[in-house]
Amino acid sequence: MRERGGQILGSERLRRSLIRVGAMAGKETLHILRDPRTLYLALVMPVLMLFLFGYGVSFDLDRIPVAISDLDRTEASRALVRTVTGSHELVSAGEADAAEADRLFRRGRVAAMLVIPSQYGEKLARRERVSLQLLVDGSDVVVANQVLSKADALVRAETRRLASVELAGPGAAAAPLQVKLWTRYNPASLSALFMVPGLAAYILAITAVLLTALTVAGEWERGSMEQLFASPVGRLEIMLGKLAPYLALGMLELLLVVAFGAAVFDVPVRGSLTLFLVIGFFFLVGMLGQGLLISILTKNQLVATQAGTISSLLPSLLLSGMVFPVENMPWPLQLLSRVIPARYLVHALRGILLKGNGLAALWPDLLAVAVFAVLIVAFSAARFPRRLA
Amino acid sequence: MTLRQAQGHRPLQPAVEARELTRRFGSFTAVDRVSFEVERGEIFGYLGANGAGKSTTIRMLTGLLTPTAGSGRVAGHDLARDPEAVKASIGYMSQKFSLYLDLPVRENLAFFGGAYGLEGKELEARADEVLALADLRTLGNTTTGELPGGLRQRLALACAILHRPEIVFLDEPTAGVDPVARRTFWRIIRDLARGGTTVFVTTHYLDEAEYCARIGLMVDGRLVALDTPAGLKRTWVPEQVLVVRGRELRGAAAALSGRAGVRNVIPFGAGLHLRTEPGSLAPEEARRLLTEAGASEVSVEPAEPSLEDVFLAVVGNSHA
Amino acid sequence: MSSLRRPSARVQLAAVFRKEVRQTVRDRRMMFMLIAAPLLQTVVFGFAADFTVDRIPTVVLDQDGTDVSRLHARRLLADGTLRRVGDVEGPAAADAELDAGRAAAAVILPRRLAADLAAGRPAEVQVVLDGTDPNRSVVAGATAAQYFGQVGERMSREKLSAAGIAPPAQLVLTPRISYNPTVVSPPYMVPGIAALLLLVVTTIVTAMGLAREREMGTLEQVMVTPIRPTVLLFGKIAPYVVFGFVDVMLLVVVGTWLFGVPIRGPLPVLVTGTLLYLLTTLGVGLLISTISATQQQSFLAGFLFMMPAVLLSGVMSPIRSMPGWLQAITWVNPVRHYAEVMRSCLLRGAGFADLAVPMAALAIIGGVVFAAAVLRFRTRLG
């Protein structure tokens, strides 16, 4: 813009810039509206996914199959079996020989085998110490841990039951030391409450990267990029214009997903909705920017999509704290996790929805996603080619 | 009567036979009951405006599209019953460049050769041959994407003839290519035809169409004309054509329009084409009239009607 | 003169294979994503994916302040499952730590604990848990319950002995853990991660392959040649079978060397399982490419297949924890079966007989998917 007489006011420049951004955003919106698939991907799929995964991804293990090898076959041993398999936590998978344990494990039929030694009843009567062997399939870590813990608790329960039967007197009345557990935020310890905020963040991260990774790269291949270069639109304006409609879609998606989570999985919303929206906003800008950056750098749809998938699918799943707590990871990975925006959104979502956390507790997360967003957009604008070569 | 029959040869089976070939896309009829025959060894040209149905016709003849109605035989094989045999006997060069840009020249040849069953030494030898034929001998290791337009087209042609097909279908093979490269290309096509290959080619360039033995003209899906170039000119541009060059002709042209015997005054390039009844207007007379009407440096010369004139006449007639 | 015989399928297949390999190998970015990226990700995720719940940050509120209470606190936190991150002065402070996320558990030892225990009066320890992560809260609760349960039992027995009554029998559970005695995560996760990575690498690439050729225009030229549809499809996926095998080999080596994943099972099982799996995932990619018109469509379809395939595969979370209807659905998820094959073969030493079911499932899914792709793909434009 050449100066004419006086100076072109900064605000005039800004106004014109915004108009150009608006024009780009309008064009991109038309593209989206004309192609219902994008809307489907942004609004319908995430809800479906949340539904599927909310039910599918959980660690609430019930009815773990345990084989019984009862070498005693007395009333006492049968009582033990009843206690162990009577609750819903472990179920009997039938009688088997200890020698078959390996085969049963290899076929995935049972998670463990309880071996009751042959003189169980006698030893009980003589008030001796009885060792019960629990053969555990250690290859399935999640199930193994739960089996060990549950079996231990059940056996101790049986011990107490025997004691209360034996000593129907005051000595056995109450255990001297009780433990009272109070579980806050998620009294029923449902996996869903834990998973849903994480899943929401995950799904959002994926769709955001996908939506944009396809746009620019596709335009390179189709040749419509050249036309953009011939126009007076600046790089930053192109970027913001392209991002804007997807941002709106993304916010809609975020609201939809959380509303759905609240409705179907009883995820509470205890904290500030505003904070939730603000953090979600910056998060989306960052992820959309990431997708845009990928498509800018690769100029090739096939490579862009591969790169987008690889950079969002597994990292967001494994390093965001969605499934595995970040604090338990080796420190290099903890560091790596810091550059994954999903980590902050997961933490913030859980805080806001389940704990009612506010800005005081979550400002580091907000800062992190905001910084990521700004950096990515700036970097993308800088790398956005101004010429064809 | 076909050319070869006129030359006294016994009628052999034609290379391409189309009978009432029709293709509809929904309610739109792209090709409407087209019938023709192409003789062996003939260079057959297929002309028409964009969207007239040329590419669709070729796609049906090469087995890429199923005709909605009608039938055809290519290289003696029925299109509907034996499309795979058709594919094995023909070569095809599509309008849009369709070789692999990310592969070197030799790899493209190796792939398409392999598609036709060529391998090993036979493939190598044949690849060398076509590279020589297409004058690309030194470019074997160049990445195809790095070749300029004209060379790419030659490579596409080379790939199409690897397996020595009886017939090659070329869809606008010289589109976007410079005049010198176009000449070279047509030299290769004529060499092919001389060797006995039938060439079915569509083109926009009417000067190239002069190389063809016969030409078919399509307008809006219908085949409206089919003849040798000379025959077409006789049928469609029976008038004499005078080529007028000079300055300030536009205004002066009006002076001629009303004149008896002048059929048409058409702006042509920077000058004019006058279509007159033969013998009704001498060039000198025209020159005088134009100069009197205000034009200067006028030159009027009789000219052979060009295929362009034919084209304009045919299209004008169809839309009349 | 053109050949009157049909061109040999073998020659055609070789030509397609060679072209695909050339194209892929020439693109360095693709090679990175096909070979290097999965390797990198295995290393990263092998370390990240840890199911062992320990070092749960815990605060202690010792309202008693006696030697006894301090002893119990120390003993409770001794084995590392609970990690002491501080002491608090009151219940409000404990809540604040939980709210802020600085602790996931708060152990409250009540006033007069030592006195009550000594006098034989019942005492109650409270444990406040952050239920946001039920894995942690359940384990923390169970740990506390187990520790104090044992203390209580011991005290009971002592009291009975002191009163001259023989204490009742004591049941002790002795676990014997097969295959993974220390129950560490990597041997469990790495095979699963390998399955996921293979899926990610192969499906999208093949899904987009045909669509890409369609968009670039080369498909038309290929369709006009006498290449048979099945030859084209097989030729397109064959290089990725090779890449897939290379990946699996590398991942197993890394798993063994870096994470101590054992190789207890027969190699032929691994090879067959991998082959069947690759054919399935590649087949899905192919099927998607035959039903998509553009690269964008095929990518989206591929991705929408992958997301549920990844999360509902039993790699991240146990299939046993899913509701029945969802468990039934996972039977058509090839990732589930392959993860099972890998885990069972590598860790448990399972053989063909043991893995007949998942192998058969893979074969069936692969067969169906491939048949569908072949049926749908026509070497015609219309």
Q: Which residues in chain C are contacts of A110 at CB distance < 8 A?
A: none
Check C48 against A333: CB less than 8 A apart. Answer: yes
Question: Is residue A2 a part of any domain in this protein?
Answer: no
Contact B102 C27 (CB under 8 A): yes
> Dihedral angle at the C-alpha atoms of B184, B189, B190, B194, nearest 10 degrees?
140
CA distance A95 to chain C (A): 18
Of A172, A202, A228, the domain-final residue:
A172
Q: Which of A109, A139, A172 is the last residue of a domain?
A: A172
Q: Which of C198, C209, C337 is nearest to C278 (CA)?
A: C198
How many C-beta neighbours within 10 Å does residue A12 have? 11
Sheet containing B262-268: which strands, arranged edge to edge? B262-268, B271-276, B240-247, B296-303
Q: Is residue A284 part of a domain?
A: yes
Query: Do the domain assignments include residue A145?
Result: yes
Q: Does B142 touch chain C (CB under 8 A)?
A: no
Choosing among C26, C83, C116, C176, which should be mutated to test the A contact, i.e. which has the most A CBs within 10 A? C176
Examine chains C and B and say if they touch (3+ CB pairs below 8 A). yes
Q: Indicate yes or no: CB of B100 within 8 angstroms of CB of C381.
A: no
DSSP per-residue letters across B232-289 = HHHHH--SEEEEEEEESHHHHHHHHHTSTTEEEEEEETTEEEEEE-TTSS-HHHHHHH
Query: Which chain B residues touch C217 with a CB distance below 8 Å?
Result: 94, 96-98
Q: pLDDT (tens digit, 9 = 90+) per residue, B220-272?
A: 999 999 999 989 988 888 877 888 888 887 777 777 777 777 777 878 788 88
- Domains along chain C with CATH numbers: 9-50+184-376 (no CATH), 56-162 (3.40.1710.10)
| Same domain (yes/no): A112, A261 | no
The answer as to whether A247 is a domain residue is yes
Across residues C27-44, what is the average pLDDT?
A: 87
Instruction: Pick C79 or B99 by higher pLDDT.
Output: B99
Cβ of C223 within 8 Å of Cβ of B64? The answer is yes
Give the mutation candidate from B102, B116, B126 for the C interface (greatest C CB count, under 10 A). Answer: B116
Of C12, C216, C380, the CB nearest to B114: C12
- Tell me the chain A residues in contact with residue C317 when contact means C-beta distances shorter than 8 Å: 56-59, 142, 323
Instruction: State whether residue B148 sits within 8 Å of chain C by CB.
Output: no
pLDDT, residue B320, reads 55
CB contact under 8 A, C381 and B164: no
Answer yes or no: is A262 within a domain.
yes
Q: Do C132 and A186 touch (CB under 8 A)?
A: yes
Find chain C residues with C-beta within 8 A of A328's C-beta: 50, 52-55
| pLDDT surpassing 70 at residue B11 | no
C216 touches chain B (CB under 8 A): yes
* Closest chain A residue to C155, measured at CA: A176
Strand B296-303, strand B90-93: pairing? unpaired
- Which residue among B66, B114, B159 places its CB closest to the CB of C15? B114
Q: Average pLDDT in the A42-69 region? A: 88
**Mean pLDDT across C217-228:** 92
Tell whether A329 and A259 lie within a shared domain.
yes
Domain boundary, last residue among A172, A198, A228: A172
Which of B66, B92, B97 is facing C224, going by the closest CB pair?
A: B92
The verdict on a CB contact (< 8 Å) between C23 and B102 is: yes
C381 in contact with B, Cβ within 8 Å = yes
pLDDT per residue as tens digits for the range B91-125 = 999 988 999 999 999 999 999 999 999 999 999 99
Domain boundaries, chain B: 3-233, 238-304
Mean pLDDT for chain B overall: 87
A259 and A282 fall within a common domain: yes
**Which tens digit of pLDDT belongs to each residue from C119-145?**
888 889 999 999 888 888 888 999 999
Identity of the residue in C131, C137, C183 whose CB atom sits nearest the CB atom of A141: C183
C306 to chain B, minimum CA–CA distance in Å? 29
The confidence score (pLDDT) of residue B168 equals 96
- Shortest distance, CA A219 to any CA of chain C (angstroms): 11
Chains touching C by CB (3 or more pairs below 8 Å): A, B
What is the model's pLDDT at position A179?
86
- Per-residue pLDDT, averaged over B147-154, amounts to 89
Domain of A114, in residue numbers: 64-172
Mutate to test the interface with C, among A120, A160, A302, A354 (most CBs of C within 10 A): A302
> Contacts of residue C148 in chain A, CB cutoff 8 Å?
177-179
In the prediction, which pLDDT does A301 show?
Answer: 74
Whether A204 and A89 map to the same domain: the answer is no
- The answer to whether residue C278 scores a pLDDT higher than 90 is yes
pLDDT digit string (tens) for A62-114? 889 999 999 989 998 999 999 999 888 899 999 999 999 999 999 888 999 99
CATH code assigned to B238-304 = 3.30.70.100
The neighbouring-strand residues paired with C198 are: none
Pairwise CB contact (< 8 Å): A106 & C125: no
Q: Which residues of chain A neighbour C297 with C-beta distances below 8 Å?
A: 37
Question: What pLDDT, on a 0 to 100 scale, did the predictor assign at position A5?
Answer: 45
pLDDT at C3: 45
**A309–C306 C-beta distance less than 8 A:** yes
User: Are B and A touching by the rule of 3+ CB pairs within 8 Å?
Assistant: no
End-to-end CA distance of chain B: 30
Instruction: Categorize the per-residue pLDDT at C1 as very low, low, confident or very high, splitting at 50, 70 and 90.
Output: very low
- Pair of tokens at residue B157: 């042609």
CATH code of domain B3-233: 3.40.50.300
- Structural domain includes residue A177: no
Residues A152 and A261 in one domain: no
Set of chain C residues whose Cβ sits within 8 Å of the Cβ of B56: none
- CATH code of the domain covering residue A79: 3.40.1710.10
Q: Which of B93, B100, B111 to mutate to test the interface with C (most CBs of C within 10 A)?
A: B111
Q: What percent of chain B has pLDDT over 70?
A: 95
Establish if A348 belongs to a structural domain.
Answer: yes
Q: For C150-189, what is each residue's pLDDT tens digit?
A: 888 888 888 878 887 777 778 889 999 999 998 888 899 9
CB pairs under 8 A between A and C: 373
Q: Which of A80, A105, A184 sits opposite C128 (nearest CB)?
A: A184
- Contact between B64 and C6 using a beta-carbon 8 Å cutoff: no
A168 shares its domain with A252: no
* pLDDT, tens digit (0-9, with 9 covering 90-100), for A333-379: 899 889 889 999 999 999 999 888 888 889 999 999 999 999 998 88
Which residue in chain A is spatially nearest to C216 when comparing CA positions? A221
Tell whether A84 and A16 lie within a shared domain.
Answer: no
A217 and A157 assigned to the same domain: no
| Interchain proximity A357–C215, CB inside 8 Å | no
In the 3-class helix/strand/coil scheme, how is chain C assigned residue by residue? CCCCCCCCHHHHHHHHHHHHHHHHHHCHHHHHHHHHHHHHHHHHHHHHCCCCCCCEEEEEEECCCCHHHHHHHHHHCCCCCEEEEEECCCHHHHHHHHHHCCCCEEEEECCCHHHHHHHCCCEEEEEEEECCCHHHHHHHHHHHHHHHHHHHHHHHHHHHHHCCCCCCCEEEEEEEEECCCCCCCHHHHHHHHHHHHHHHHHHHHHHHHHHHHHHHCHHHHHHCCCCCHHHHHHHHHHHHHHHHHHHHHHHHHHHHHHHCCCCCCCHHHHHHHHHHHHHHHHHHHHHHHHHCCCHHHHHHHHHHHHHHHHHCCCCCCCHHHCCHHHHHHHHHCHHHHHHHHHHHHHHHCCCCCCCHHHHHHHHHHHHHHHHHHHHHCCCCCC
A355 and A273 in a single domain? The answer is yes
Predicted confidence at residue B113, as pLDDT, reads: 95
Using the beta-carbon criterion (under 8 Å), do B59 and C11 form an inter-chain contact?
Answer: no
* Cα C202 from Cα C38, distance rounded (Å): 11
Same domain, A20 and A111: no
Each residue of A265-311: pLDDT tens digit?
888 888 888 999 999 999 999 998 888 888 778 777 777 777 777 77
- Assess whether A110 and A165 both reside in one domain: yes
The ipTM estimated for the assembled molecules is: 0.86
The number of distinct structural domains making up chain A is 2
B&C contacts, CB < 8 Å: 110
Closest CA to C370 of C309, C305, C284: C284
- pLDDT of residue A388 exceeding 80: no
Q: What pLDDT score was predicted for residue C352?
A: 94
- For residue B272, the cross-strand partners are B244, B267
The chains in contact with chain A, meaning 3 or more Cβ pairs closer than 8 Å, are C
CB A306 within 8 A of CB A297: no
What is the model's pLDDT at position B234?
A: 87
Which residue from B minimizes the CA distance to C223? B64
**Residues A135, A270 within the same domain:** no
Q: Are C318 and A59 in contact (CB < 8 Å)?
A: yes
Judge contact between A179 and A140, C-beta under 8 A: no
A3 occurs within a structural domain: no
Q: In chain B, which residues have their Cβ closer than 8 Å to the Cβ of C227?
A: 115
Identify the CA nearest to C246 among candidates C174, C194, C189: C194
Work out the pLDDT band at A237, boundaries 50, 70, 90. Answer: confident
Helix (H, G, I), strand (E, B) or coil at B19: strand
Q: Which residues contact C103 (CB under 8 A, 6 or more apart)?
A: C57, C58, C59, C85, C86, C94, C97, C130
